[in-house]
Amino acid sequence: MVPPGARERAWNRRYTALFRFVAEQGRFPKQLGGPVERGLERWLYTQRIKLSSAELDHEREDLLDLLGE
């Protein structure tokens, strides 16, 4: 069983890492980057799928919009 709030914290950690990556690199992560960059690219890809299938809540959608997604 997943502890209460664990998924929210995990999502926020990934979003923060993505936010920092975009701020530092001036671009979105790519599949051909290093292991950290590939992980961020895969996570972002998953969020895009959830967004297109209406599985992403509005708050998270707004946060991704701040990045230019």
- The pTM assigned to this predicted structure is 0.89
> What's the number of domains the chain is made of?
1
How confident is the model at residue 3, as a pLDDT? 83
Q: Is the pLDDT of residue 69 over 90?
A: no
User: 13: helix, coil or strand?
Assistant: helix
Separation in Å, CA 39 to CA 7, 21, 54: 17, 12, 23
Residue 45 lies in a domain: yes
What is the extent of the structural domain holding 54? 6-21+29-66
Distance CA 15, CA 22 (A): 10
**4/19 Cα distance (integer angstroms):** 24
| Residue 46 counted as domain residue | yes
What does the pLDDT look like over 19-32, one tens digit per residue?
Answer: 999 999 999 999 99
Condensed to tens digits (0 to 9), the pLDDT of residues 40-66 reads 999 999 999 999 999 999 999 999 999
For 14, the 3-state DSSP assignment is: helix
Specify the residue for token string 């923060």. Answer: 16
Residue 1 lies in a domain: no
55 within some domain: yes
